[in-house]
Amino acid sequence: MSWEEMKDLQLEEKPLPLETKELNGILMTKMMSDNWDKIWNFQAKPDDLLIATYTKAGTTWTQEIVDMIHNDGDVQKCQRANTFDRHPFIEWTLPLPLNSGTCPAGPCGTVTCAGRFAPGRRVTETISKGNWKGIIYMARNAKDSLVSYYHFSRMNKMFPDPGPWEEYIEAFKAGKVLWGSWYDHVRGWWDAKDRHRILYLFYEDMKEDPKREIQKILKFLEKDISEEVLNKIIHHTSFDVMKQNPMANYTTIPTSMMDHSISPFMRKGA
């Protein structure tokens, strides 16, 4: 959806109603819970790639890297649309103007989509047995995930108010945040990785040596690129460059949904 169309929706003036609803003990948005059957029955096509993450683990970073790989390092092509339109979240049923992954028009014409699939190991198993070409999972350590999630929840008006920091820490540890427990998520996918075609990556490894980690993704995707393209991908997906990229930094979303003056989406990246 273009910016003009977004403006027509007058989102700036409308407070966003946010309702949450637990499903199997996991907190989700009501839209997502109500849509769960569709998500559960989602049929991947053999060319589909899933980027799976707990929230704030480096989803956007992985999405940008994969898009750059798929487009042979063509920066212009990777600026064709926002991250969430290039790789829609399957289960994240969103209010307009944002795209929802299970909607019939997408995502998976676009080949890659992202997903969180919080509700426990059964889901992890079911999803990872699906007809995916592969699943790239990225994990990030609990402390940085928690800090990032807290600041994101302050600026993201679609999310429940995180409340005071001390209380938020306890809620996170107890898994009483959207998409449930960080521990169950990273553990569930860790367990699944040896039984299915899953590339399990770590944010910290990507930070330490992006070249090495991007090469792992290339191998997983069975893709050959030149050294020059590889260096271009490393540069274009660095924190400083992505922070300035409106198609990756979520600044095209109306302020009533995400208020970057409270905390930018691309916050510290460390």
Q: Could you say which of 29, 55, 99, 128 contacts ligand PPS (CB under 6 A)?
A: 55
Q: Which is nearer to ligand PPS, 60 or 82 (CB)?
A: 60
Q: Which is nearer to ligand PPS, 59 or 110 (CB)?
A: 59
Q: Can you tell me the distance from the alpha carbon of 124 to that of 116, in angstroms, rounded to the nearest whole number? A: 9
Helix (H, G, I), strand (E, B) or coil at 144: helix
Q: Could you say which of 27, 32, 58, 159 contacts ligand PPS (CB under 6 A)?
A: 58
What's the one-letter identity of residue 181? S
Q: Can you tell me the distance from the alpha carbon of 13 to that of 121, in angstroms, rounded to the nearest whole number? A: 40
Q: How many residues bind ligand PPS (CB under 6 A)?
A: 20
- Pairing status of strand 26-29 against strand 49-53: unpaired
Q: Could you say which of 57, 78, 199, 217 contacts ligand PPS (CB under 6 A)?
A: 57
Q: Which is nearer to ligand PPS, 89 or 220 (CB)?
A: 89
Report CA-CA distances (Å) from 207 to 43, 55, 202, 233, 250: 33, 17, 9, 14, 21
Q: Could you say which of 237, 245, 252, 254 contacts ligand PPS (CB under 6 A)?
A: 237
Tokens for 45, please give them: 């096509």
Tell me: does residue 236 bind ligand PPS (CB under 6 A): no
Tell me: does residue 181 bind ligand PPS (CB under 6 A): no
Helix (H, G, I), strand (E, B) or coil at 142: helix
In the complex, the smallest distance separating the C-beta of residue 171 from ligand PPS, rounded to whole angstroms, is: 17
Among 22-30, 39-47, 190-198, 261-269, the segment contacting ligand PPS (CB under 6 A) = 261-269
In the complex, the smallest distance separating the C-beta of residue 4 from ligand PPS, rounded to whole angstroms, is: 25
- Pairing status of strand 49-53 against strand 134-139: parallel
Helix (H, G, I), strand (E, B) or coil at 173: helix
Determine the angle formed by the axes of helices 120-129 and 182-192, rounding to 10 degrees: 40
Of 234, 177, 136, the closest CA to residue 22 belongs to 177
Q: Which is nearer to ligand PPS, 34 or 144 (CB)?
A: 144
What's the one-letter identity of residue 239? F
Tell me: does residue 60 bind ligand PPS (CB under 6 A): yes
Tell me: does residue 242 bind ligand PPS (CB under 6 A): yes
Q: Which is nearer to ligand PPS, 22 or 208 (CB)?
A: 208
Among 95-103, 172-180, 215-223, 234-242, the segment contacting ligand PPS (CB under 6 A) = 234-242
At residue 155, φ and ψ (nearest 5 deg) are -90, -20
Q: Binding residues for ligand PPS, per CB under 6 A?
A: 53, 55-61, 144, 148, 151-152, 237-239, 242, 266-269
